[in-house]
Amino acid sequence: MTYADTLVMSRRELALISYRLPIVAEALGVSLPQHHRAEDDAAACAGIMLALAQRRGAATVNELAEGLHIRLGCLNPDSEGNLTCYARPLGSHGGGPRPDAPDANPNADPEHPLYGQVMVFTGALALTRTEAWDWAASVGSQPEENVTKRTTILVIGNGFQGDSMEDFQTGKAKKALALLEKGQQIEVMTEEQFMESLGDATSPSM
């Protein structure tokens, strides 16, 4: 069974400060009465898919995926040969790593959603900063200390939620929003989103 991931597609098609479901739904004019209620979330995801297809003039999910250079995922009953839905690289971020952060793992899976990203962590996290860096580097991301023109993902701790645009009016989130408005491709993630994005990655300490 093939499937499409609206998160992957939204990241490729939309220039948003965050790709949490409420933010994407609002940007596309899709109704989301109550976030985290299963039926509402499912309906919103379907609406997002339709809205993205309309933006692209795509008649089918396959056509939309091809237009966005995204490979559809595949699930098999025996769990063998499964493929994740991922966006094929469009280019490189360029530049070299900062000397005070670990290098991105050159042997990481290029299909991992965090592969090739330049990540900065700010605020109090459940992980230590070094642990967060190591996890990011292990899946092919380049961790750095400060937000720069190279930064593509900013992970904010301190219980940051990012469920509405009001959450992006202070601190580092506001700075990231300003960079986005200037044309920089940057996304803000919560710590929970970062951990979920790691998926089944092997602990870097192993």
Per-residue pLDDT of the chain (206 residues; tens, 9 = 90+): 888 999 999 988 998 889 999 999 999 999 999 998 999 999 999 999 999 999 988 899 999 998 888 888 887 766 555 667 767 665 544 444 444 789 999 999 998 999 999 999 988 888 888 889 999 999 999 999 888 889 999 999 888 888 888 878 777 888 888 999 999 999 999 999 999 999 877 777 65
> How confident is the model at residue 84, as a pLDDT?
73
Q: Report the chain's terminal Cα–Cα distance, integer Å.
A: 33
What 3-state class would DSSP assign to 24?
A: helix
Residues 6+ apart with CB under 8 A from 54: none
CATH number attached to the domain at 93-206: 3.40.50.10190
> How confident is the model at residue 94, as a pLDDT?
46
Every domain of the chain with CATH number 3.40.50.10190 lies at: 93-206
CA distance 67 to 47: 18
CA distance 179 to 12: 18
- State the Cα angle at 200 between 196 and 204, rounded to 5°: 100
> How confident is the model at residue 98, as a pLDDT?
43
Least Cα distance to 51 among 26, 33, 69 occurs for 26
> How confident is the model at residue 188, as a pLDDT?
92
The pTM is what? Answer: 0.66
Polymer length of the chain: 206
Count the alpha carbons within 13 Å of 147 in the hemisphere toward its beta carbon.
23
> How confident is the model at residue 86, as a pLDDT?
67
Pair type for strands 118-122 and 153-156: parallel
CA distance 87 to 102: 25
> How confident is the model at residue 92, as a pLDDT?
44
- Both tokens of 141, joined, read 């991301």
What 3-state class would DSSP assign to 142?
A: strand
Centroid of chain to Cα 190:
10
Count the alpha carbons within 13 Å of 7 in the hemisphere toward its beta carbon.
18
Alpha helices of the chain — where are they, by DSSP H? 6-13, 21-28, 38-56, 61-67, 129-138, 171-181, 191-198
Pair type for strands 86-87 and 118-122: unpaired
- Both tokens of 61, joined, read 């999910």
